[in-house]
Amino acid sequence: MCNFNSLDDEAKLNHHKRLTTIADSFGGINFFLQFLEAIREEKNHPLTAGNSYFNSSFGKIKWNKVIFKDKITLLLKIRLEKNDDDNILPNKDDKQYKKVLNLVRTLKPIVFTIMPRIAQNREEEKAFIIKPFDIIGVDKTVLNPIFDIIFFCSIDKVKKILSYK
């Protein structure tokens, strides 16, 4: 997802709309970008938090299972080595196949609940739920673009997606 330029116009527009909706739930693009900056500024990656919780002045994220650092390190590596069709699963004869498959099996059931701070004091629920992967088939798994944007993409890429026309 961080390679936004390689997408076709329809996919770019779709990602722009989804991300704009999420940014609006934070009270605007600037609040959303500040939330992402807070995630990036953490000393250790927030996904490795032992309490499965990330909190900032702009919002919070909760998930239902502890994620160990080795899983995040592998995820960071494989998200950059995707196939042409964005499949993160390597070929079955690749020596990394079993590790990546175990990573997908470990992270697939985890659900991330993101609650913007602006919504925490209101009666209406503005929280949204994301999963790390989109399972397309037996041999095809892609990284959820929103998950990728929230935890890994650079702020400049996110700004580019949000400003797409």
Predicted confidence (pLDDT) at residue 136 exceeds the cutoff of 90: no
Residue 21 above 90 pLDDT? yes
- The 10s digit of each residue's pLDDT in 68-112 is 999 999 999 988 877 667 888 888 888 989 999 999 999 999 999
Identify whether the C-beta of residue 78 lies closer than 8 Å to the C-beta of residue 100: yes
Q: What is the DSSP string of the chain?
A: ---GGGS-HHHHHHHHHHHHHHHHHTTSHHHHHHHHHHHHH-SS-GGG-TTSEEEETTEEEEESS---HHHHHHHHHHHHS--TT---S--TTSTTHHHHHHHHHHHTT--EEEEEHHHHTSSS---EEE-SEEEEETTEEEE-HHHHHHHTS-HHHHHHHHT--
pTM: 0.89
- Sequence-distant (6+) residues with CB within 8 A of 4 are 12, 15, 157, 160, 161, 164
What confidence tier does 147 reach under pLDDT thresholds 50, 70, 90? Answer: very high
Residue 42 is encoded by which pair of tokens? Answer: 């953490």
Domain that holds residue 135: 4-162
Confidence of residue 123 (pLDDT cuts 50, 70, 90): very low
Tally of structural domains, the chain: 1
